[in-house]
Amino acid sequence: MDLILAGVALLMLGAGYWALVGAPNDVTLGASQRIFYVHMGAAVVVAVAFSVAFAASLAYLWRRDQVWDRLAAASVEAGMVFASMLLATGVLWGRVVWGVWWTWDPRLTATLLLWVLFMGYLVIRDAYPDLDRRARIAAVLAIVFYADVPLDYLTVRWFKSLHPVVLTSHGAEMPPVMLLTLLMNALAMLSVWALWVVLRVRVDRSEENLAQVKHQLRWHIRQSIKEDR
């Protein structure tokens, strides 16, 4: 695990260097364009994280194995950090380029909607004490909410949006060095997300094991008290 952590840290350092120093300034937007590497990297992670949660939720309903529920929850939890990062960097970029912190543009609104929905997923999940019911309801919510992910992607194509379109039918609209920096940042963030998910799943499993041990311990203590009497 230490080696993996070191590898992810190195990848993040390399990606950070290229995003802040290595890649050239944009011709029209100057240095402010560098926010884009973090913004787009976070967008890739959000799409992957919610897609994994969707697939894991389907797998849970099919197999009824708690492993899939833990994976879905961990994926959304880590994905929400990147979704918050996506919104925050978007707000900063919008202030520089559009001159406003926020506008009710279809893409921005759809992304905020996505954030609200999956935040609701995490809150509602915690409201169920029963593990099976919680997993079942959470799986339904993740599948229903996932409908907003393609909608978010398509808003800039369907509606009149201020938001730039990066990926077109002709490929990525940017010079190769910028594309490489973007891919490096996306990869680095994806590896951080994946590591986070693995650790979160392990913590969840440990918490459940601990709860079981506590339950058994309570039972033994009660039994021994009865015997003493």
Partner 1 sequence: MGAIRGWAWLVANELALEMKQRDFGAMMMGLAVLAALVLGMIEPLNPRQGAAVGAGILWMGLVYAGMLMVSHTFQREASGSVQVGLVLAIGRMPLLLSKLAVGVGYLWASQGASGLVWMALTGLDGHGAWGALIATWGLSSLGMALIAELLAAIQVQLPDRQPALWLVFMAAQVPVGLSDAGAVRAIFSGANPGQWIGALMALAVLFSALWWLLGDVIWEV
Evaluate whether 76 touches 110 at the Cβ level (below 8 Å).
no
Cα–Cα distance measured from residue 119 to residue 76, given in angstroms and rounded to the nearest whole number: 9
DSSP single-letter state for residue 101: S
Tokens found for residue 42: 């976070």
Q: 144 or 213: whose CB is closer to partner 1?
A: 144
Query: What's the length of the chain?
Result: 229
Cα–Cα distance measured from residue 104 to residue 110, given in angstroms and rounded to the nearest whole number: 9
117 touches partner 1 by CB under 8 A = yes
Minimum separation from the CB atom of position 87 to partner 1 (A): 14
Ranges within 1-30 binding partner 1 (CB under 8 A): none
131 touches partner 1 by CB under 8 A = no
Q: Quickly count: other Cβ atoms within 10 Å of residue 147's Cβ.
A: 10
The amino acid occupying position 222 is R
Minimum separation from the CB atom of position 167 to partner 1 (A): 22
123 touches partner 1 by CB under 8 A = yes
129 touches partner 1 by CB under 8 A = yes
Residues 6+ apart with CB under 8 A from 124: 137, 138, 141
Residue of the chain from 128, 179, 180, 199 that contacts partner 1 (CB under 8 A): 128
Ranges within 173-212 binding partner 1 (CB under 8 A): none
Residue 167 β-bridge partners: 172
Residue of the chain from 81, 92, 151, 198 that contacts partner 1 (CB under 8 A): 151
Minimum separation from the CB atom of position 222 to partner 1 (A): 25
Q: 126 or 208: whose CB is closer to partner 1?
A: 126
The amino acid occupying position 69 is D
Question: By the criterion CB under 8 A, which residues form the site for partner 1?
Answer: 61, 109, 113, 116-117, 119-121, 123-124, 127-129, 133, 136-137, 139-141, 143-145, 147-148, 151, 158
